[in-house]
Amino acid sequence: MKKMLTVTIDGIQVDVEEGATVLEAAQRAGVYIPTLCYHPCLPPIGACRLCAVEVEGMKGIHTACTLPCTDGMVVHTDTPAIKRFRQDILWLILSEHPHACLICEKRDECDLKTCEFDIPVEQRCCSKWNECELKEIVDAVGLPEDIPLPEYKSRGFPVIEDEPLIFIDRNLCILCERCIRACQDLRGIGAIGFIYRGRNSMTAPPPNMNLSESGCRFCCTCVEVCPSGALRDKVDFNGKPREEVIIACKYACPARIDVPRYVRLI
């Protein structure tokens, strides 16, 4: 039996098992901490740094998803320094992502097809609007009032539509690494990784390879964990839950895959 630890997060005491992270403790305490690179099925890496927190007795800012709890730890998630740090991080993310709709006060009244401010479609929002995790992050974190966001400009990556099952738009990638870790750590394949550097950095198969050539099984696990519209299913869900369309098992497949549908789509 694991040792139990007592942690205080924003004044709320919570008991967690030894080995739990600060993020897990916060979730247990009902304290919201924003995350983008974190996914409960993937090993944490602290890449996005949106889950930043301060800990009494520890210098600097720490990522809650990677920081293990210690007994008696006192954590602050909402100090002015943390708020500004998260806003600056979010500003950097949105500066290279379509964001006009994300920060528009009328976004919930809009059908997303027309814009009363005549903002070009490519600057408004990504294709995953109704499921985009950035919406919740923007509402919770906000943006610096003293630094306006620049007009979005695409990085110019071609949209890939000729791969089986998956649309790929790397202009919408926020470099969270979820797809890379899902492919490597969940599926054990490692068909994609980071290539190039700086503004041209992207998640992709090795240079001069497509997904098929890199060993991709087209299981679409990468699509499932993608928080933006960078990776999308080619299947039209028609409003149905994704699992009913993609992996609804009707043929007793032990992997829960509708094999005939899968083969037809390929």
Spatial CA neighbour of 79 closest among 99, 53, 58, 59:
53
pLDDT value at residue 20: 97
**Which CATH number does 4-78 carry?**
3.10.20.740
Could you tell me the residue ranges of all domains in the chain?
4-78, 97-141, 166-265
Going across the sheet that includes 52-55, the strands are 12-17, 4-9, 74-76, 52-55, 62-63
Write out the chain's pLDDT in tens, 266 residues: 789 999 999 999 999 999 999 999 999 999 999 999 999 999 999 999 999 999 999 999 999 999 999 999 999 999 999 999 999 999 999 988 888 777 777 777 776 677 777 777 767 777 666 677 888 899 999 999 888 888 888 888 889 998 888 999 998 899 999 999 999 999 999 999 988 887 778 888 888 888 988 999 989 999 999 998 899 988 765 555 555 555 544 444 545 555 445 544 44
Domain 166-265 has CATH 3.30.2130.30: no
Go through 38-71 and write b for each residue having 16 or more CB atoms within 10 A of its CB, e for each that does not.
bbeebebbbbbbbbbbbbeeeeeebbbbbbebee
Bridge-based pairing of strands 4-9 and 52-55 is unpaired
pLDDT value at residue 252: 45
pLDDT value at residue 59: 96
